[in-house]
């Protein structure tokens, strides 16, 4: 970011009350703390502005009736039965990938956000490379660009058990690389090699929307690691934009001098429609001020209560993208909802409450037609006559269901 853009960003941040705010709002660890691989613990589940949420179960503000199109219409992607990216890449199934990306295209998505796996790359870089090449080719065939993450900042330690556990009750997402690596700059050579491996192959690849150095690196030791890796990313820069998976607008202030090409913010569970409107207004203001894209790169639904791990009430255990999508459409903000495929929640804390996420079952039926309609409408076409609705838990994941 240029000094001029930096000054404009800071001025805009001050005008909307972001200065000094640094409360996370994205994922958290299964124990309710932030997934900091360096051993840090920061309270999870805040909001994009750092201001307290209003806990309101029944928002009264009417849904907008937006028109026009949104340029970046995306979803987070993991295969249905993968609980972390190690499982996605080590058990890579080309037919499943092509099927799922076809589902994404059927609701006119033009982007997906996913992550590589450093641990799998260490085991078998050639296999990871073949799988990644197929993934990008399959996505391009459906008119879908990929926001490709390199490292993951959230989850549990990347032990063999955590990486390979597929039990729907207690399987976990994993941060990557390990805390021992993140804490010790003397062990950063191999992660830097991984970054160079990615950039040598894909720095100018038109199939990529952007390359993300790390998802939610937080504020402390992980951020130091992410910054170091971003320096290597920048040294290898090509035509593909570079970004970081920032939890909030305020967190982006920490990344201003990294020379980002796109900013992100994450807000999975806002509690009122007024908060959604406020957050989206800030996004459009930031985009104008910084003269770069600002993507709402993680969102799910309106939900009562404050915080990522707040108690789930009533039917809040199920997807409800249509509670937020019309506001995003109306604001025209590029976005990625969590997640394309129907599966138990990513974090164990959510799964313990019986939370289910996603739009498409493995056979192509959708959980909710109104969700599919509101997502597809961002392309200017809300028709979903070709889809079937089925609000049934996947049989393979029934152990995680909480009645």
Cβ atoms of 27 and 347 within 8 Å: the answer is yes
Cβ atoms of 49 and 33 within 8 Å: the answer is no
Determine the pLDDT at residue 62. Answer: 84
Q: Which residues fall within 8 angstroms of residue 132, CB to CB, at 6 or more apart?
A: 89, 116
Q: Point out the residues of the chain with pLDDT beneath 50.
A: 19-57
pLDDT tens readout for residues 190-227: 999 999 999 999 999 999 999 999 999 977 789 999 99
Distance between CA 332 and CA 11 in Å, rounded?
23
Q: Which is nearest to 48 in space by CA: 73, 17, 77?
A: 17
- Number of neighbouring beta carbons within 10 Å of residue 20: 10
- Number of neighbouring beta carbons within 10 Å of residue 152: 28
Determine the pLDDT at residue 403. Answer: 78
Query: Structure pTM?
Result: 0.90
Alpha carbon separation from 35 to 24, 42, 155, 228, 266 (Å, rounded): 11, 8, 5, 19, 15
Distance between CA 81 and CA 107 in Å, rounded?
21
Q: 189-202 and 221-235 are packed helices; what angle lies between their axes, rounded to 10 degrees? A: 40
Determine the pLDDT at residue 6. Answer: 61
Distance between CA 30 and CA 140 in Å, rounded?
35
pLDDT tens readout for residues 40-50: 322 233 344 43
Distance between CA 84 and CA 90 in Å, rounded?
10
- Number of neighbouring beta carbons within 10 Å of residue 353: 15
Determine the pLDDT at residue 394. Answer: 96
> Residue by residue, what is the 3-state secondary structure of the chain?
CCHHHHHHHHHHHHHCCCCCCCCCCCCCCCCCECCCCCCCCCECCCCCCCCCCCCCCCCCCCCCCCCCCCCCEEEECCCCCCCCHHHHHHCCCHHHHHHHHHHHHHCCCCEEEEECCHHHHHHCHHHHHHHHHHHHHHHHHCCCEEEEEEEECCCECCCHHHHHCCCCCCCCCECECCHHHHHCHHHCHHHHHHHHHHHHHHCCCCCEEEEEEEECCCCCHHHHHHHHHHHHHHHCCCCCCEEEECCCHHHHHHHHHHCCCCEEEECCCCCCHHHHHHHHHHHHHHHHHHCCCEEEEEECCCCCCCCCCCCCCCCCCCCCHHHCHHHHHHHCCCEEECCCECEECCCHHHHCCCCEECCECCCCCECCHHHHHHHHHHHCCCCCCCCCECCCCCHHHHHHCCC
Tokens of 46: 């805040």
Determine the pLDDT at residue 218. Answer: 79
């Amino acid at each position: 970011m240029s000094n001029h853009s930096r000054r404009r960003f800071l001025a805009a941040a001050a005008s909307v009350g972001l200065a000094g705010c640094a409360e996370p709002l994205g994922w958290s660890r299964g124990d309710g703390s932030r997934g900091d691989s360096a051993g840090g613990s920061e309270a999870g589940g805040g909001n994009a502005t750092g201001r307290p949420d209003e806990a309101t179960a029944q928002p009264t503000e009417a849904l907008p009736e937006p028109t026009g199109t949104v340029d970046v219409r995306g979803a987070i992607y993991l295969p249905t039965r993968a609980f972390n990216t190690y499982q996605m890449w080590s058990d890579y199934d080309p037919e499943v990938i092509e099927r799922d990306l076809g589902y994404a295209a059927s609701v006119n998505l033009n982007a997906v956000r996913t992550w590589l796996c450093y641990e799998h790359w260490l085991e078998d870089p050639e296999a990871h490379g073949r799988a990644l090449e197929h993934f990008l080719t399959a996505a391009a065939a459906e008119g879908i660009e990929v926001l490709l993450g390199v490292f993951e900042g959230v989850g549990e330690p990347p032990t063999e058990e955590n990486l390979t556990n597929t039990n729907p009750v207690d399987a976990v997402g994993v941060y990557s690389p390990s805390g021992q690596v993140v804490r010790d700059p003397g062990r950063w050579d191999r992660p830097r090699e991984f970054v160079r491996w990615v950039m040598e192959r894909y720095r100018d690849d038109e199939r990529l929307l952007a390359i993300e150095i790390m998802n939610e690196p937080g504020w402390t030791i992980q951020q130091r690691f992410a910054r170091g890796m971003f320096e290597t990313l920048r040294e290898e820069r090509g035509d593909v934009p570079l970004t970081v998976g920032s939890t909030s607008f305020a967190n982006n202030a920490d990344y201003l001098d990294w020379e980002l090409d796109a900013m992100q913010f994450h807000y999975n569970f806002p509690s009122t429609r007024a908060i959604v409107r406020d957050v989206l207004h800030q996004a459009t203001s930031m985009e104008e001020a910084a003269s770069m894209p600002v993507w709402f790169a993680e969102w799910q639904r309106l939900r009562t209560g404050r915080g990522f791990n707040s108690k789930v009430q009533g039917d809040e255990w199920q997807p409800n993208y249509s509670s937020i999508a019309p506001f995003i459409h109306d604001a025209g903000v590029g976005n990625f909802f969590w997640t394309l495929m129907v599966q138990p929640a990513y974090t164990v804390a959510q799964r313990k409450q019986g939370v289910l996420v996603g739009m498409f079952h493995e056979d192509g039926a959708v959980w909710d037609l109104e969700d599919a309609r509101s997502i597809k409408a961002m392309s200017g076409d809300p028709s979903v006559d070709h889809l079937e609705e089925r609000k049934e838990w996947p049989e393979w994941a029934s152990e995680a269901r909480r009645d």
